[in-house]
Amino acid sequence: MRDVTSADDLLAWYDVHAREMPWRIGPKNRANGVRPDPYKVWLSEIMLQQTTVTAVRPYFERFTSLWPTVVDLANAEDAAVMGEWAGLGYYARARNLLKCARAIVSDHNAFFPDNKATLLTLPGIGPYTASAIAAIAFDQPETVVDGNVERVMSRLFMVETPLPKAKPELTELATALTPTNRPGDYAQAVMDLGATICTPRSPACGICPWLASCKARKAGVAANYPKKLPKVAKPTRKGAVYVARRRDGAWLLETRPDKGLLGGMLGWPGSEWGENICDHKPPIQAEWTKLGADVRHTFTHFHLILDVHITSASESDIPLAGDFVSPANFRPSDLPTVMRKVFNLASKELLSD
């Protein structure tokens, strides 16, 4: 085995060990002229941001069943898409997904641009996603750098700079290795290497196609890379939510503002979230009962604790916030995870009456 880092060695490994994914065209099919669907590449890359392949797979399959093309997605109802996205988190991605689909249809005649520069002009597509689509869907020699690639590069070159400061250095190293031959397969190969062999803990260095040239492996310290800055403790925020159910089975729900956390998603009316529960008014004048248990949820940057208040409303109650939604038009699965936790807790009391 050569003591030099070669894209050819990695591609030879990928040709045998490529992971099978519903959005991927494997190396054998690509070699036979089968081209990836840019729509599926884009959709999978948006879904995979901050999310695992295992978690994304059922969402991807459901989305492509409901909306097989970018035109279908562009014509979809916002609420339907947001409902299907529930549980994937980072809900701004779902809003941008629709904006991007509609821009591709209206501005690009339903065809995805084949170059990074134009892709970057689309809503919700940043440098990483643009590079991934250009490389994987169109075989452009763009460098794709996710967490797996960062880990591989940091070990391969034994980069001492900690993340996230090391990102520019790791990107530069990854760029130097990106070949002009089969760049799409290569981009996926590096990610597969990081996901299956060069794993965060206990990397399987003995079967790595780049073991001969990996500096961290030679030094016996591969598991110590990448270096990372100490994590900052997450703050805790608090809030209150109000769950009202009418005698006819309707639930009081609101659609959150487009901007901000959980933007555009269904939720329960309530207070702002802060260090303490802010002053606020219940959404209807009624006798509210505060449940003895609270709801706890962790977002990327903070922990959240919600006090849950419930009431049985009447048809004459006029809400100050939100609207009553009939049971026929409400699915708990349409709620984002934290709001679904609230429903699960509150419904035990309200549905038992």
Catalytic residues: 45
Give the type of residue at 160: E
**Helix 127-138 / helix 38-48 crossing angle, nearest 10 deg:** 150
Strands 236-246 and 266-267: unpaired
Question: Helical H runs in 37-126?
Answer: 38-48, 53-66, 70-74, 78-85, 92-107, 116-119
How far is the C-alpha of 337 from the C-alpha of 237, rounded, in Å?
17
How far is the C-alpha of 222 from the C-alpha of 199, rounded, in Å?
10
How far is the C-alpha of 78 from the C-alpha of 70, rounded, in Å?
14
SS3 helix, strand, coil % of the chain, rounded to 5? 45, 10, 45
**223 within 8 A of 203, measured Cβ to Cβ:** yes
In sequence order, the β-bridge partners of residue 322 are none
Strands 303-313 and 236-246: parallel
Helix or strand run (H / E) with residue 269: none
Strands 266-267 and 251-255: antiparallel
Helix or strand run (H / E) with residue 315: none
Q: Please report where in the chains the tokens 């002053």 appear, as a residue.
A: 279
How far is the C-alpha of 278 from the C-alpha of 226, rounded, in Å?
41
List all residues 6 or more positions away from 8 whose beta carbon is below 8 Å from its beta carbon: 179
Closest CA to 309 of 239, 242, 245: 242
